[in-house]
Amino acid sequence: MDNVLTEQERIRREKVNYLKELGVEPFGHKYIRTDNSKTLVEKYDQYSKEELEEKKIPISIAGRMIAKRRQGKIGFINIQDRYGLVQCYIAKDMIGESNYDIFIKSDIGDILGIKGYVMRTNTNQLTVKCEEFTHLSKALRPLPEKFHGLQDVEEARRRRYVDLIVNEESRRVAFMRPKIIRAVQHFFDGEGYTEVETPVLQPILGGAAARPFVTHHNALDMEFYLRIATELPLKRLIVGGMERVYEIGRLFRNEGVDAKHNPEFTTVEAYQAYADMYDMMDLIENFFKSVCTEVLGTTTVEFDGHTYDLSKFKRVHMVDAIKDKVGVDFWQNMTFTEAKELAKAHGVEVPNHFTGVGHIINAFFEKYCEDDLVEPTLVYGHPVEISPLAKRNAKDPRFTDRFECYIGCTEYCNAFSELNDPIDQLNRFKEQLEERKLGNDEACEIDYDFVEALEYGMPPTGGIGIGIDRLVMLLTGKTNIRDVILFPHNRQRGNN
Q: What is the model's pLDDT at position 2? A: 52
pLDDT in tens, 167-214: 999 999 999 999 999 999 999 999 999 999 999 999 888 877 788 999
Query: Does residue 263 contact residue 489 with C-beta atoms inside 8 Å?
Result: yes
Percentage of the residues of the chain whose pLDDT score is greater than 90: 86
> What's the DSSP call for residue 142?
P
d(CA 345, CA 339) in angstroms, rounded, equals: 10
pLDDT in tens, 71-87: 999 999 999 999 999 99
Percentage of the residues of the chain whose pLDDT score is greater than 70: 97
Pairing state between β 213-217 and 222-226: antiparallel
Rg (CA), the chain: 29
Cα separations in angstroms, 311 against 284, 287, 292, 374? 10, 10, 10, 15
Mean pLDDT for the stretch of residues 44-69: 96
Cα separations in angstroms, 43 against 36, 52, 413? 10, 11, 43
pLDDT at 151 over 70: no
pLDDT in tens, 423-465: 999 998 898 888 888 887 777 788 999 999 999 999 999 999 9
pLDDT in tens, 325-352: 999 999 999 999 999 999 999 999 999 9
> What's the DSSP call for residue 487?
S
**Helices (DSSP H) in 297-326: which residue ranges?**
318-326
d(CA 260, CA 470) in angstroms, rounded, equals: 7
Q: What is the model's pLDDT at position 159? A: 86
Return mean pLDDT, the chain: 93
426-439 core/surface letters (b: 16 or more CB in 10 A; e: else) = bebbebbeebbeee
pLDDT at 130 over 80: yes
Q: What is the model's pLDDT at position 441? A: 74
* Confidence tier at 408 by pLDDT (50, 70, 90): very high
Residue 80's Cα: distance from chain center in Å? 25
Query: Does residue 475 contact residue 176 with C-beta atoms inside 8 Å?
Result: yes
41/157: higher pLDDT: 41
d(CA 378, CA 103) in angstroms, rounded, equals: 60
pLDDT in tens, 269-310: 999 999 999 999 999 999 999 999 999 999 999 999 999 999
pLDDT at 496 over 50: no
d(CA 294, CA 368) in angstroms, rounded, equals: 35
Give the count of beta carbons closer than 10 Å to the beta carbon of residue 122.
Answer: 6
Nearest to 286 by CA among 193, 400, 364, 220: 193
Mean pLDDT for the stretch of residues 464-472: 97
**How long, in residues, is the chain?**
496
pLDDT in tens, 256-271: 888 899 999 999 999 9
Cα separations in angstroms, 297 against 278, 301, 444? 27, 10, 41
Read off the pTM: 0.91
pLDDT at 494 over 60: no
**Helices (DSSP H) in 306-409: which residue ranges?**
318-326, 336-345, 357-368
129-165 core/surface letters (b: 16 or more CB in 10 A; e: else) = bbeebbbbbbbbeebbeeeebbeeeeebbbebebbbb
- Amino acid identity of residue 314, one-letter, is K
106 backbone dihedrals φ, ψ, rounded to 5°: -70, 155
